[in-house]
Structure 1
Amino acid sequence: MAGIRIVVAGATGWVGRALVPAVLAAGDLVLAGAVSRAAAGKDAGEAIGAPTAGVIVAASLKDALSVPSDVVIDYTKPHVVKGNVLTAIEAGRHVVVGTSGLGAEDYAEIDAAARKAHVGVIAAGNFSITATLLKRFALEAARYVPDVEIVDYASASKPDVPSGTGRELAEVLGEARQAGTAKPVADLSGLKETRGASIGAPIPVQVHSLRLPGYVLSCEAHFGLPDERLLIRHDAGSSAAPYVAGTLLAARRVAEQPGLRRGLDSLMS
């Protein structure tokens, strides 16, 4: 029995290198295509130092979509992910988006395109189970503690701010929280930029991004009440392994409904 045919965009990247062998090893998935400009023309397995996969890496997603497939998984770069997602939707493919850098307006456009094409899209700032639990626990805390800010950590070379984890967390907290007690940024004097970026609606959350050598990926939700504080933190290790299971779960479930779904928690009971 044929499985779900997967195209991995960013096949030689940090997460892509872990995804390709995982797709090949899954009994219900088939690697139909791989995209990497740097490894174009090579076998997808050999390009990541693994056994031969029997799939030649394409230089662009458009080229990879010339072969029949069902789902595109995108782990590329912030400046190309939106174009890739819209290209995949136009070609009638479902899409799993693991790349960060998209904002609320981008997601609204993607949702509209997916609904029009009757395909599904699942996007998450972080596909790991523990990062999903950070989001769930922070939403629970926001029911009782209105004052919250987010600190997001990454390596000095990460090109986008904030991280997908931090942005997604701020957006959902902005919908769930009550008004806090901190003085509005607009009413402050001095360098207002030091208060971070205001993300989310109707009540935005301040997000602060640190980019320093020695960090991988971490995200903290800071809650405060008079004389007490709560910190909920997620730390990612140096391996991409935590993101694989959640990404493949999304690939298996993305066709269940048209339009965009945000976050791995949208698939969890």
Structure 2
Amino acid sequence: MADTIRVAVIGAGGRMGREVVKMVLQDENMTLAAAVSPSAGPVDAGSMVGVNPCGVTVSADLETALSDARADVLVDFTVPQAAYGNTKTAILHGVRPVIGTTGFTPEQIDELDKLCQERGLGGLIAPNFSIGAILMMQFAAQASKYFPHLEIIEYHGDQKLDAPSGTSIKTAELIAGVRRELRQGNPNEEETIEGARGGYYNGFRIHSVRLPGVFAQQEVIFGGFGQTLKIRHDSYERAGYMPGVAVAVKKVMTYTGLIYGFEHIMD
């Protein structure tokens, strides 16, 4: 179809990248324009992800792929060290970035937003594409107005590179936006083992659990007089993120500028 969105996927050979390739191939409103994975080799992208061959050969180089593909959108689920460069490359090629990788600094986000504005492109950086996780974050921010004493505990597999997770940081930012800084706990508190109380953010703590067998969970625990409130979200497989990615790919075609946070494009 001539009016389908042409999507390039970088990190296509990774666990999230493979799910994105499958999602694009199965969505009638999208066409797979390119798949990039330096380690996958020149294989058919459909065959690589376990579906019918699609006629798109996996490329090793993003610049070459974008030059040849006429892509509208680039989806990136790679690593923090590569995501900034990939995003900038996409924008300079006139391709709208949809980024599920964390680790961007505020200065980098501002720079990329300006590039998008200059070129009339929409873009999105989202720490989490799970609609349930976004709701968890928004509910937690609302609850913090009434329960200002809280802690965040996030759980991921032991191979995750960053701690705390991008989702927990985004949750903390949303909470800090509606809650005055309140330093919790006993003012004379002392850690007898370094790090026992977790990372400090705006007066509360973030704890990162890393264990094999865990996929992705987060809970925000609120404490008040005689009661506690827990808001928790559990993800069990990567396919659960794909409805959100599909929404993002379609939405970035409709606005200009780089948005940080999936919650800003939810209807």
Question: Separation in 1 of the partners of 2:263 and 2:139?
Answer: 12
State which drifts further: 48-57 or 28-37.
48-57
* 1:121 and 2:123 aligned: yes
State which drifts further: 94-103 or 242-251.
94-103
Offset from partner CA, 1:94-150 (integer Å, 9 cap, x none): 111112333434333332332233321112111111111101211110121112221
Change (3 A) 1:153 1:104: farther
The corresponding residue for 1:266 is: 264
**Maintained 8 Å contact 1:35/1:64:** yes
> How far did residue 204 of structure 1 move?
5.6
Give unmatched runs, 5+ long, in structure 1. none
The corresponding residue for 2:35 is: 34
**Pick aligned residue for 2:76 from 74, 93, 101:** 74
Give the letter aligned to residue 108 of structure 2. Answer: D
The corresponding residue for 2:217 is: 218
The corresponding residue for 2:227 is: 228
**Pick aligned residue for 2:142 from 135, 140, 143:** 140
State which drifts further: 103-112 or 152-161.
103-112
The corresponding residue for 1:131 is: 133
Paired residues in the alignment total 264
> How far did residue 7 of structure 1 move?
0.3
SS at 2:94's partner residue?
coil
The corresponding residue for 1:169 is: 171
> How far did residue 188 of structure 1 move?
5.2
SS at 1:165's partner residue?
helix
Q: Between the two proteins, what is the percent identity of the paired residues?
A: 37
> How far did residue 253 of structure 1 move?
0.6
Question: Separation in 1 of the partners of 2:110 and 2:179?
Answer: 22
Question: Separation in 1 of the partners of 2:131 and 2:8?
Answer: 23
The corresponding residue for 2:86 is: 84
> How far did residue 243 of structure 1 move?
0.6
**Maintained 8 Å contact 1:173/1:205:** no
The corresponding residue for 2:11 is: 10
> How far did residue 52 of structure 1 move?
0.6
Task: Calculate the aligned-residue CA RMSD, in Å.
Answer: 2.0
* TM-score when normalising by structure 1: 0.90
Question: Separation in 1 of the partners of 2:266 and 2:197?
Answer: 34
Give the letter aligned to residue 118 of structure 2. Answer: K
Give the letter aligned to residue 217 of structure 1. Answer: A
State which drifts further: 165-174 or 101-110.
101-110
Question: Separation in 1 of the partners of 2:87 and 2:195?
Answer: 32
* TM-score when normalising by structure 2: 0.91
The corresponding residue for 2:206 is: 207
Q: Write the mapping of 1:85-100 to structure 2, written as runs, cut at 5 A.
A: 85-100=87-102
Give unmatched runs, 5+ long, in structure 2. none
Give the letter aligned to residue 9 of structure 1. Answer: I
**Maintained 8 Å contact 1:174/1:204:** no
**Pick aligned residue for 1:101 from 100, 103, 112:** 103
> How far did residue 37 of structure 1 move?
1.0
